[in-house]
Chain A
Amino acid sequence: MRAASTTTTTSTSTSSAGAATVAPTEPVTGGLGDSPLRPDGALKVQGRFAFSSDDRVDAMLHGATLRSPHAAARIVRIDIAPALAITGVRAVLTASDVPGTLTYGLIDDDQPVLADGVVRYQGEPVALVAADHPETARRALGSIVVEWEPLPVVADPDDVIAGTARELHPRGNVFRRQDVACGDQELVGEVRVEGTYEIGMQDQAFLGLEAALGIPDPDGAGVELFVATQWLHEDRKQLSACLGLAPERVRLTLSGVGGAFGGREDLSLQVHTALLALHTRRPVRMQYTREESFFGHVHRHPATIWMRHHADRDGTLRRVEARMVFDGGAYASTSHAVLFNAITHAQGPYRCLNATVEGWAVRTNNPPCGAMRGFGVVQACFAHESQMDRLAEACGLDPVEVRLRNAMVTGDRLITGQVVDSVAPVERCIRETVALPMPPDGPGGDAADPRLLPGGVGLTTDAAHVRRGVGFGVSIKNLMYSEGFDDYSTARCRLADGVATLKFATAEVGQGFVTLAQQIARTRLGVSDVVLEPIDTSIDSSGSTSASRQTWMSGGAVDAACRAVRSRLLDAVAQRHSIEVEALEIVGTDVVSADGSLRVPVTEASAGLVIDESAHYRHRPTVEPDAQGQGDSHVAFAFVAHRAVVDVDPELGLVRVVQIATAQDVGVALNPLSVRGQIEGGIAQGLGLAVMEEIVVRDGIIRNPSFTDYLLPTALDAPEVVVSLVEEYEPLAARGQGSRRAAVHIGNTGDRCRDPQRDRAPDRPYAGATPGHLRMTTGPRLHLWEVVVDCAEPAVLAAFYAGLCGCEPHRFDDEWYWIEPASRGGGVADAGGPRIAFQRVPEPKVGKVRLHLDLGTDDLEGAVRRAVSLGAGRLGDPVTDAAGSFVVLADPEGHEFCVVTE
């Protein structure tokens, strides 16, 4: 752990906890551990908060973006003359007007500022307009003539992996191919469960739409940008490169942010706004509509994840196999890092020494995907938790029990070889979640109110149609940036006349950091007044408001700066009163000496002084993984358990999530109200992903870019949330400057609400839930898994029956083969239906079998002929009875079976 370094050397004081012998005369209010209200809360609820879209200056122009209607096309010709001819149009810009680098990106700069001859996704920016009035700008967009030559759309990641897709970009079609392999690569467990899981594309759906105001310097050689973003300095780095300006000529100020959730990590309209402002030498304002916002930022990656878990019969996890395919869309964004998060979290919060994980993040003509709350871990979680349910079922265990049995503890190794040395209260999270009260009402709730039923006021469902299910999910999520990245934070604290002033570039996106920063200063300095300076690029970077990192990282920087100031204040008091500085401490709002002989209010002690200190804060370094994904690539982890109580109308597939209970590893809750707010928000977003939210994309075209058809949970869909905060002191952070972390989000848990047996999120009603999919709260549920045939040569019999049924023989080992034939009711072959397995036994067949196979067909004679040709013996003529006709045969080992007409 690297400690925070301050710009001046200060003597380290004793910890505040050690000086509690002297009682404060006046305790600090609104300090750490309190829940002061956030300053933006009431304003937002009342509609008075100034979002970036409210920024305006006199004589500004209005920018607008021409976007591609095609998912893939060549631009044959663009004619901007008709747009320029419109009165009130001040500029029309295309790719050739970009003065610096034409492309940008967070990890790989592969995304054009404006399309240069080719577009790779629907909505890709092609041209910009600045006009006196937004309506004029809109009309001008319509008058730009673009001649398109549509190109074949690559929409399926499998085509990219198979190498059959055309090359979409000079930098190739694969963003990242990374394995994680550890332990025994051949291990086969006594129990094996597998499944393939799909996760849909989710939108961050922040309520404050993208907006920016760009103001050019009078000399035209610089620009000031007011923008809602997550990381001002990264924006500046990319912006200045595209504008061809030195970074210091590009100044950014954070404007009012209405939520981010990862959707503001990438640039959207930043370069465009600055370009138009510099080009016109006028202030330019840009703002997206809701529809445009769907095209203007990256989304959560849709993913297909196959997993096979190997375990002992008692449920002990032995090996995880996984193949993860993430569709990154047209441009790289953070696909590289999202994939790494997913594959390194494949084991979940469970002990597992052996793993074989294959990860792909690929380029397609779908909308670009990148950061969203949970950052790859959500997709992995949905898969591993579905697998844990399957494992529980296969081992005859309760879903909670199988999780407890495998729960990770501090000191366990991840599949990357990294030892989890942070607190890992997985078992405690699970047990506390289980102990939380269940909802008071039974299925269907308090019958009189239809809003408590699936289907709500749509009156689809009566209480009698409702069945209640309970699902569990447990998750691990990394904190901070990984793979060797130095995402330090910076803060400055100034104390003068009893007032503390804080300066940092930490983006406040609604997570509550401005409140927390004030709490830290109050507690460390004993002041009540804490002034926050504008959040801008006039101070060094604080890194991104992402990755659950700001409370720890920027909190650490603010804490370090405040401690440095405190140290100098105590030095000054010591000098003034000729007391050893080691004897001084701030208790409540006073500077006091250990023996109680001196007590000076901080306001008085700091009168006439100006103490100004800055600090950087760094977490311990991480490394890039090797080819097998091994290495200490993550910083630290947080854990969470969820229990979802869900009322389901199985016939219609409608749900009402009744309650989510959760115990979360939050470190120490520095602002408990804020932590609960984050937990409830994360649950709402997880619920959306589980049951309704999905950007529907067909052939690269978004079908539902509006809140009419992209459905977010409403207040009526929000469940009761019961929370237990698991507070365990984080020694990693404590070894720094005493900053402690608070859980910043739990979006990492895919709340598996509708139906624990479904393999898709969101699981919307038309996906076809049936009663059989629902795990009920009482009684075991049994279904036909397989029929096992004892035999001498499993390979021969598997080949025989596979040939007869037209499916694939599968080998587990020499002793065990199986097939998955098509089954009645529309079950197709090799799609997870009931199996026929063949196991080698030493004893021979004696007498007639007492359990035989009936294979259905619509062509009795044809089936019999095929059976005989494959080595069967015919034991009789067709017999017709009330149920149909059949022929008795014997397989190559003499087992009697029938072919029957359906």
Chain B
Amino acid sequence: MGWDAGDIVATMSVTSPDSLDAALAALADNPAAHVLAGGTDMMVELNFGRRSPAPVVSVGRIPELRGIDVDRSARFVRLGAAVTFSEFLASEAASQAPALAQAARTVGSLQIRNAGTFGGNLATCSPAGDTLPVLVALSATVELASRDGRRRVPVEEFMVGPKRSALKPGEIVAGVTVPIIDGWQGFATVGTRNAMVIAVCNAALVVDRHDRSVRLAMGSVGPTILRAPEAESVAARMLFGAEPTSARADLLVEFERRASAAVSPIDDQRSTADYRRHAVGVIARRLLDRASREMP
């Protein structure tokens, strides 16, 4: 037996605009509406009753948000907000941002990766968001669009707190631009089981040979993704300085110490602050170790 239409007392209005302009207009008309992309976060919230079934603007099928562009001469990859993790992994863009591919591969299960999107990961803005540390370490830029126009914000500035972003009412994430960087990059994430798990902590390390710098970004260890400039300087010294090989072990330990010192984790049902601080230092050190071994 199905439900009679007359029985349905709570309705949920879903708009599926076929262009970005139409979506922005719908949002401008109803700034309280939820933006739905892959739904992998929103449906969980709905199931828990944490969101009322307010009006929804579904952007997952808007062509302008679905593009994957690789520009080798200008050295960037652009991902539309509605690009799924699976689509990215199957594209040539994945090889241009290998750490981002590693992070995308850790998102949920195959089914979740088929639905979840980069725009959704950004807009949800969870400190545990799998791709966010990589986007920060790669110095990616978020494109935001509203009926009033577009603006670009560095990912680091886009995130302002746990599940809080720089998005204004009526504004949506349109895409993200990721520089193609010459140098080693890698990602690692710790979970209580080996797949399909929300990160206890994660980290991305990006080595930029062009300006001889190293960027470390860590997630789930603070209110936003955290950088560790003092650790980064140690890493740059190790990879680009004239340090003797014998100093390598000490530098790795120092890098780990500084990475751990840069975070401000909390105790919750998934882990403890102490473990997070310890573990994020370990994976940061291992990333740097891998970088030093694998760099040509």
Interface presence of A136 (CB below 8 A) = yes
Question: Contact: A456 with B190, CB < 8 Å?
Answer: no
Q: Which residues of B from 120 to 155 have beta carbons under 8 Å from A?
A: none
Q: Which residues of A from 5 to 27 have beta carbons under 8 Å from B?
A: none
Partner of B193, one of A462, A465, A692: A692
Which of A272-280, A303-311, A742-750, A760-768 lines the interface with chain B? A760-768
* Cβ contacts under 8 Å, A417 to chain B: none
Question: Contact: A459 with B7, CB < 8 Å?
Answer: no
Q: Chain A's nearest CB lies how many Å from the CB of B202?
A: 8
Which of A226-234, A648-656, A832-840 lines the interface with chain B? A648-656
Which of A55-63, A431-439, A612-620, A890-898 lines the interface with chain B? A55-63
Question: Contact: B3 with A133, CB < 8 Å?
Answer: yes
Q: Which residues of B from 136 to 194 have beta carbons under 8 Å from A?
A: 186-194
Interface presence of A139 (CB below 8 A) = yes
Question: Contact: A459 with B102, CB < 8 Å?
Answer: yes
Question: Contact: A652 with B9, CB < 8 Å?
Answer: no
Question: Contact: B194 with A291, CB < 8 Å?
Answer: no
Interface presence of A724 (CB below 8 A) = no
* Cβ contacts under 8 Å, B195 to chain A: 451, 456-457, 714, 716-717
Q: Which residue of B lies closest to A655 (CB)?
A: B194
Interface-centre pick from B49, B195, B271, B275 (highest chain A CB count, 10 A): B195
Distance in angstroms between the alpha carbons of A709 and B193 in the assembled complex: 11
Distance in angstroms between the alpha carbons of A653 and B187 in the assembled complex: 19
What string of 1s and 0s marks CB contacts (under 8 Å) between B250-272 and chain A? 00000000000000000011111
* Cβ contacts under 8 Å, B189 to chain A: 458-460
Distance in angstroms between the alpha carbons of A717 and B268 in the assembled complex: 23
Q: Chain B's nearest CB lies how many Å from the CB of A716?
A: 4
Interface presence of B65 (CB below 8 A) = no
What string of 1s and 0s marks CB contacts (under 8 Å) between A626-665 and chain B? 0000000000000000000000000111101000000000
Which of A172-180, A700-708, A797-805 lines the interface with chain B? A700-708
Question: Contact: A765 with B279, CB < 8 Å?
Answer: yes
Distance in angstroms between the alpha carbons of A713 and B194 in the assembled complex: 9
Interface presence of A135 (CB below 8 A) = yes
Interface presence of B14 (CB below 8 A) = no
Once A136-B9, A139-B9, A457-B106 are accepted as A-B contacts, the answer to whether A764 and B192 lie under 8 Å apart by CB is: yes
Question: Contact: B10 with A768, CB < 8 Å?
Answer: no
Interface presence of B8 (CB below 8 A) = yes
Q: Which residues of A from 707 to 753 have beta carbons under 8 Å from B?
A: 708-709, 711, 713-714, 716-717
Q: Which residue of A lies closest to B276 (CB)?
A: A766
* Cβ contacts under 8 Å, B44 to chain A: 708
Q: Chain A's nearest CB lies how many Å from the CB of B293?
A: 10
Interface-centre pick from B7, B10, B197, B269 (highest chain A CB count, 10 A): B269
Question: Contact: A57 with B190, CB < 8 Å?
Answer: no
Partner of B282, one of A87, A651, A696: A651
Question: Contact: A656 with B194, CB < 8 Å?
Answer: yes
* Cβ contacts under 8 Å, B102 to chain A: 459
Question: Contact: B9 with A133, CB < 8 Å?
Answer: yes
* Cβ contacts under 8 Å, A703 to chain B: 268-269
* Cβ contacts under 8 Å, B192 to chain A: 692, 711, 764-765
Question: Contact: A708 with B198, CB < 8 Å?
Answer: yes
* Cβ contacts under 8 Å, A88 to chain B: 7, 9
Interface presence of A856 (CB below 8 A) = no
Question: Contact: B1 with A58, CB < 8 Å?
Answer: yes
Interface presence of B34 (CB below 8 A) = no
Interface presence of A289 (CB below 8 A) = yes
- Interface size bracket, A side: 35 or more
Question: Contact: B190 with A460, CB < 8 Å?
Answer: yes
Distance in angstroms between the alpha carbons of A711 and B276 in the assembled complex: 18
Question: Contact: A454 with B194, CB < 8 Å?
Answer: yes
Distance in angstroms between the alpha carbons of A577 and B189 in the assembled complex: 78
Q: Chain A's nearest CB lies how many Å from the CB of B195?
A: 4
Q: Which residue of B lies closest to A657 (CB)?
A: B194
Partner of A766, one of B10, B48, B271, B282: B271
* Cβ contacts under 8 Å, B270 to chain A: 704, 709
* Cβ contacts under 8 Å, B200 to chain A: 765-766
* Cβ contacts under 8 Å, A765 to chain B: 190, 192, 200, 271, 275, 279
Question: Contact: B271 with A711, CB < 8 Å?
Answer: no
Q: Chain A's nearest CB lies how many Å from the CB of B182?
A: 22
Q: Chain B's nearest CB lies how many Å from the CB of A48?
A: 18
Q: Chain B's nearest CB lies how many Å from the CB of A762?
A: 9
Once A133-B9, A456-B195 are accepted as A-B contacts, the answer to whether A60 and B1 lie under 8 Å apart by CB is: yes
Interface presence of B286 (CB below 8 A) = yes
Question: Contact: A696 with B9, CB < 8 Å?
Answer: no
Interface presence of B209 (CB below 8 A) = no
Question: Contact: B190 with A711, CB < 8 Å?
Answer: no
Q: Which residue of A lies closest to B187 (CB)?
A: A459
Once A88-B9, A696-B269 are accepted as A-B contacts, the answer to whether A458 and B194 lie under 8 Å apart by CB is: yes
Question: Contact: B290 with A460, CB < 8 Å?
Answer: no
Once A132-B7, A289-B47, A766-B200 are accepted as A-B contacts, the answer to whether A57 and B282 lie under 8 Å apart by CB is: no
Distance in angstroms between the alpha carbons of A291 and B45 in the assembled complex: 12
* Cβ contacts under 8 Å, B47 to chain A: 289-291
Question: Contact: A652 with B190, CB < 8 Å?
Answer: yes
Interface presence of A510 (CB below 8 A) = no
Interface presence of B196 (CB below 8 A) = yes
Question: Contact: B193 with A457, CB < 8 Å?
Answer: no
Distance in angstroms between the alpha carbons of A786 and B198 in the assembled complex: 43
Question: Contact: B193 with A717, CB < 8 Å?
Answer: yes
Once A132-B7, A717-B194 are accepted as A-B contacts, the answer to whether A462 and B286 lie under 8 Å apart by CB is: yes
* Cβ contacts under 8 Å, A652 to chain B: 190, 279, 282-283
Q: Chain B's nearest CB lies how many Å from the CB of A280?
A: 15
Q: Which residues of A from 664 to 705 have beta carbons under 8 Å from B?
A: 691-692, 696, 703-704
Q: Which residue of A lies closest to B194 (CB)?
A: A456
Question: Contact: B1 with A56, CB < 8 Å?
Answer: yes
Distance in angstroms between the alpha carbons of A834 and B42 in the assembled complex: 53
Q: Which residue of B lies closest to A710 (CB)?
A: B269
Q: Which residues of B from 206 to 223 have beta carbons under 8 Å from A?
A: none
Distance in angstroms between the alpha carbons of A706 and B200 in the assembled complex: 16
Question: Contact: A291 with B290, CB < 8 Å?
Answer: no
Q: Which residue of B lies closest to A56 (CB)?
A: B1
Question: Contact: B190 with A87, CB < 8 Å?
Answer: no
Question: Contact: B49 with A451, CB < 8 Å?
Answer: no
* Cβ contacts under 8 Å, B269 to chain A: 696, 703-704, 709
Q: Chain A's nearest CB lies how many Å from the CB of B17?
A: 26
Distance in angstroms between the alpha carbons of A410 and B199 in the assembled complex: 50
Q: Chain A's nearest CB lies how many Å from the CB of B40?
A: 11
Question: Contact: B193 with A711, CB < 8 Å?
Answer: yes
Interface presence of A138 (CB below 8 A) = yes
Distance in angstroms between the alpha carbons of A692 and B190 in the assembled complex: 13
* Cβ contacts under 8 Å, B197 to chain A: 711
* Cβ contacts under 8 Å, B61 to chain A: none
Q: Which residues of B from 275 to 295 have beta carbons under 8 Å from A?
A: 275-276, 279, 282-283, 286, 290
Question: Contact: A766 with B272, CB < 8 Å?
Answer: yes
Interface presence of B105 (CB below 8 A) = yes
* Cβ contacts under 8 Å, A766 to chain B: 200, 271-272, 274-276, 279
* Cβ contacts under 8 Å, A708 to chain B: 44, 198
9 smallest beta-carbon distances between A and B, as pairs: A456-B194, A766-B275, A703-B269, A458-B189, A135-B10, A133-B7, A716-B195, A766-B271, A704-B269
19 contacting pairs across A/B (C-beta < 8 A): A139-B10, A291-B48, A451-B195, A455-B194, A457-B106, A458-B191, A460-B188, A460-B189, A652-B282, A652-B283, A654-B190, A654-B194, A656-B194, A704-B270, A714-B195, A717-B194, A766-B200, A766-B275, A768-B275
A contact residues vs B (CB 8 Å cutoff): 56-58, 60, 87-88, 132-133, 135-136, 138-139, 289-291, 451, 454-462, 465, 651-654, 656, 691-692, 696, 703-704, 706, 708-709, 711, 713-714, 716-717, 764-766, 768
Given contacts A133-B3, A135-B10, 7 further A-B pairs with CB under 8 A are A87-B9, A455-B194, A458-B202, A461-B286, A462-B290, A704-B269, A766-B271
B contact residues vs A (CB 8 Å cutoff): 1, 3, 7-10, 44, 47-49, 102, 105-106, 109, 186-200, 202, 268-272, 274-276, 279, 282-283, 286, 290
